[in-house]
Amino acid sequence: MVHRGEIVERVIRDSGIPLTKIANKMGKSRRWIYNVFEMPDLSLDLVLEFGKILHYDFSDEIPQIANRTTILNDMEVPYGVNKAEYWKTKYYSLLEEYNELLKKDSKDK
């Protein structure tokens, strides 16, 4: 049976994010990350922290997580995306939706 450390390892490797970058975000070393991969009883708090960094929901692989409340910070920009471009695109998208709603509302009157 696959344990929590192995599940986290698979998700990290599939993400393509360098281990060094993940370790730096957590304030840990790469060696620590490799040790995590060997932990069958990795704490749910650490799994959730990895999930936040990777923008990944582990609740399918680790059912105990579904019982915990997690809040991902909506202000975080996905890995590898230019922050300014991300927010500009998001702003324009919301502005276009707003304008469409205004048009629809003015036609209804």
Which residues contact residue 2 at a Cβ distance below 8 angstroms, ignoring those fewer than 6 apart?
Answer: 10
Query: In angstroms, how far apart are the furthest CA atoms of the chain?
Result: 65
Q: What is the pLDDT of residues 44-100, one digit of tens each?
A: 889 988 998 998 989 888 888 876 644 444 456 665 567 778 788 888 989 999 999
Instruction: Enumerate residues 6+ apart whose C-beta is below 8 A from 7.
Output: 47, 58, 61, 62
Contacts of 69 (CB under 8 A, 6+ apart): none
What's the confidence (pLDDT) of residue 40? Answer: 92
* The pLDDT value given to residue 36: 94
Phi, psi of 53 (to 5 degrees): -65, -40
